[in-house]
Amino acid sequence: MHISKRAQDIQASPIRKLKPYADQAISEGVRVYFINIGQPDIKTPDPVWNAFKKGKEEVLEYGPAQGILDLRKSIAGYFNLYNIPVTHENVIITIGGSEAIHFSFSAVADNGEEIIIPEPFYTNYNGYAAFANVKIAPLTLDVKNGFRLPPKKDIEQTITSKTRAILLCSPNNPTGTVYTAEELERVIDVVKKHDLFLIADEVYKEFVYDGYSHKSILEY
């Protein structure tokens, strides 16, 4: 008996792989600085804890398939603060960003098709792609120019007959690069020209420093 080839091909998270080694070092009195995982080190806001403590449901039922309506409305309201015209009807709830990315890969590409991602990229994208049986086509960026996106012609050279989407992560994990409006427009022009999907991973949109500002794909 053996597990499926898909299961064997899925990359184990290199980020999680380091955790047992760190725990072992801590147990031996070594001071460890964690840069492998995005573990929050700020206090959880009181309203979050208060909401849990005030919960009075006697039976926790299945939620709606799209997600709890009040939560969807709150998320839409968050984007409205940035003058992005989103309504709750545009929002579905997933169990975190990882599931959202996995669903996106599965929704836009069939077996063996490709999704272009600027490289270096978040390593766990590899696992999501393997699980969805799609391939990542890396668009290699250069550290010498701050990992900026290349000209349109260079992006287009990565496109093949199997390409179905481009994924942009901005602010980027792991480089920290925040793509400019001009860079985003460049990619938007490419996906429109080649009839591709554009997947935006903007999970770090609140973590922008040094005078930079984040522009969401939803603003276009």
- Can you tell me the mean pLDDT for 109-133? 95
Picking from 4-13, 59-68, 94-103, 167-176, which range would have the lowest pLDDT averaged per residue? 4-13
52 confidence band (pLDDT: 50, 70, 90): confident
The CA distance from 159 to 196, in Å, is: 10
Segment 76-96, tens digit of pLDDT: 999 999 999 999 999 999 999
Q: Does the structure show a pLDDT above 80 at 41?
A: no
Per-residue pLDDT at 37: 73
Domain ranges of the chain: 64-93, 96-219
3 confidence band (pLDDT: 50, 70, 90): confident
3-state SS of 115-173 is EEEEECCCCCHHHHHHHHCCEEEEEECCHHHCCCCCCHHHHHHCCCCCEEEEEEECCCC
Fold of 96-219: Aspartate Aminotransferase; domain 2 (3.40.640)
Segment 177-217, tens digit of pLDDT: 999 999 999 999 999 999 999 999 999 999 999 999 999 99
CA dihedral defined by 83, 88, 173, 188, rounded to 10 degrees?
Answer: -60
